[in-house]
Amino acid sequence: EDKVVQSPLSLVVHEGDTVTLNCSYEVTNFRSLLWYKQEKKAPTFLFMLTSSGIEKKSGRLSSILDKKELFSILNITATQTGDSAVYLCAVDDDYKLSFGAGTTVTVRA
């Protein structure tokens, strides 16, 4: 059965800290890996990764994929309280998304 596992399940940091979120996966027909941010309601799209070793960046967020070891990391630098959210990793398995349970990030002022 396909599986997407995120770690840690939750973490608490202070503003300015850097966080690293992990996502490992095991799917049959990998097409891409996606990261989302979920704040109370709808997930919002952050990144889509299809190739190993190519870092995607957007402001203070960056992400990279390792297709050999089947994992991805999401980094957030200089965290702010507005970064507090659940970060979801999802894998496109033949056009269907399988989600991990998410990592809850709490950034304290």
Partner 1 sequence: GAVVSQHPSRVICKSGTSVKIECRSLDFQATTMFWYRQFPKQSLMLMATSNEGSKATYEQGVEKDKFLINHASLTLSTLTVTSAHPEDSSFYICSANSEGVRTDTQYFGPGTRLTVL
Question: Which residues of the shown chain bind partner 1 in the complex (CB under 8 A)?
Answer: 4, 31-32, 34, 36, 41-45, 48, 88, 90, 92, 95-102
Our CB check for partner 1 shows the closer of 15 and 55 to be 55
Nearest-CA neighbor of 1 among 86, 107, 95, 98?
A: 98
Instruction: Report, in angstroms and rounded to the nearest whole number, the Rg of the chain calculated over CA atoms.
Output: 13
Our CB check for partner 1 shows the closer of 18 and 51 to be 51
- Min separation Cβ 47 and partner 1, Å: 9
- Min separation Cβ 67 and partner 1, Å: 17
Our CB check for partner 1 shows the closer of 4 and 76 to be 4
Residue 70 corresponds to which tokens in the numbers above? Answer: 């089947």
Nearest-CA neighbor of 34 among 104, 106, 107, 93?
A: 93
First to last CA, the chain: 41
- Min separation Cβ 43 and partner 1, Å: 5
Local structure of residue 94 (DSSP, 8 states)? T
